[in-house]
Amino acid sequence: MIRASIMGGSGYSGGELLRLLIAHPEIEVVQVSSRSHLGEYVYQVHPNLRKQTQLKFSDPDAMQPVDLLFLALPHGTTQHKIDQFAGLASRIIDLSADFRLHDPKDYQHWYGSPHAAPGWLPKFVYGLPELHRDDLRNAHYASGVGCNATASNLALLPLVKAGLLESGQPVIIELKVGSSEGGAEGNPGTHHPERSGVVRTFSAFGHRHTAEVIQELGLSKVTLTMTSVELVRGVLATAHATVKAGVTSKDLWKAYRATAADNPFVRIVKEQRGIYRVPEPKVLAGSNYADLGFELDEASGQVVSICAIDNLMKGASGTAVQCMNLMLGFDETLGLEFPGLHPI
């Protein structure tokens, strides 16, 4: 059994990690920290875990050495303590945004302040197995992924990998997101009577996850436009791009099928009948799948590529466990078998 701990267990991605690790056949969870809920049973915060574990939240300043440490702390925290954390475990997976970007200049540009540990940036593999599976197999340090970046990157992955996109053309990605994306801390705008039923385009340009799409796909003119909708879990990315002249639907089918064949958690959803013809996040709640679909207007070369994920699973904790499986030599899908629910 591998001994693992979680720093930051009272938030949403920390709680989801805990759910996955408790049930994982090869992992023993040693400690889960939370300063604000210190001493409480984890099931008092995450009520789904009652009768699943008797763990209590630990003091973050009293963590024991383990084989693997998950960091689920607020953005901007781990870069200041990474040396300390590295002393606790030889393998680290950091779900925050601190080690996703390789270039300190990019970090400063998108996050507005210089990175506190730039020397650590090259040690981290960007933790999306669909892009870096082989690197992750040998990695000791993996970053997490932005949930919106992940939906965007996977929506475009088949097109980029097969070289079908017309270069230099703008890519506009419309993301529709649920309320859990904002984390477990509330604010006046997340008060239920205000947040309920919204369709709110809260960020037209400049979302930080854009940086991860640019870095990972090598695209230049990328816009992420964010709209909150009535949903707790889930992201839908609807990406508008332009394919090279002459590219056909057949070419796209081939590209998407290849991506689905290469990646156990990628599925194509493109049906001619029934209710579920296109990717949708709601049936993915709790699942690590990324569902992809597309439509091509052959006349104009405009393509709409769609990706649905659960932001807390494929967009955060599920992908982190998938990285862990690769880093530790387990089957990539171990402990990630829950397929989601229908109806829900």
Q: What residues from 256 to 315 belong to the interface with a second copy (CB under 8 A)?
A: 264, 267, 269, 271, 273-287, 289, 291, 293, 295, 297, 300, 302, 304, 306, 308
Among 35, 48, 105, 134, binds a second copy (CB under 8 A): 48
Q: Which of 48, 39, 2, 34 is nearest to 21 (CA)?
A: 2
> What separation, in Å, do the N-terminal and C-terminal C-alpha atoms of the chain show?
35
The distance of closest approach from Cβ of residue 263 to a second copy in the complex, given in angstroms and rounded to an integer, is: 10
The string of DSSP letters for 90-148 reads SEEEE-SSTTS-S-HHHHHHHHSS--S-GGGGGGPBP--HHHHHHHHHT-SEEE---HH
340 binds a second copy (CB under 8 A): yes
The string of DSSP letters for 39-67 reads TSBHHHHSGGGTTT---BEEPTTSPPP-S
The distance of closest approach from Cβ of residue 98 to a second copy in the complex, given in angstroms and rounded to an integer, is: 24
Give the CA distances from residue 222 to residues 93, 162, 166, 236, 303, in Å, rounded to whole numbers and listed in that order.
27, 19, 13, 17, 15
Our answer to whether residue 323 is catalytic in this structure is no
Residues linked to residue 172 through DSSP beta bridges, in sequence order: 223, 240
Binding mask 210-249 for a second copy (x = CB under 8 A): -----------x-x-x-x-xxxxxx-x-x-x---------
The distance of closest approach from Cβ of residue 60 to a second copy in the complex, given in angstroms and rounded to an integer, is: 20
Which residue, 63 or 147, is less far from a second copy as judged by CB? 147
Which residue, 52 or 77, is less far from a second copy as judged by CB? 52
Return the amino acid letter for 311.
N
Which residue, 260 or 326, is less far from a second copy as judged by CB? 260
Q: What's the length of the chain?
A: 344
85 binds a second copy (CB under 8 A): no
Which residue, 86 or 229, is less far from a second copy as judged by CB? 229
CB atoms within 10 A of CB 109: 12
Strands 141-143 and 222-228: unpaired
Stretch that binds a second copy, among 48-56, 104-112, 159-167, 317-325 (CB under 8 A): 48-56
Cα R_g (the chain), whole angstroms: 20
Task: Write down the catalytic residue from 42, 147, 175, 312.
Answer: 147
Footprint of a second copy on 167-196 (CB under 8 A): 170, 172, 174, 176, 178-180, 184-196
Among 25, 112, 168, 197, binds a second copy (CB under 8 A): 197
Catalytic residues: 147
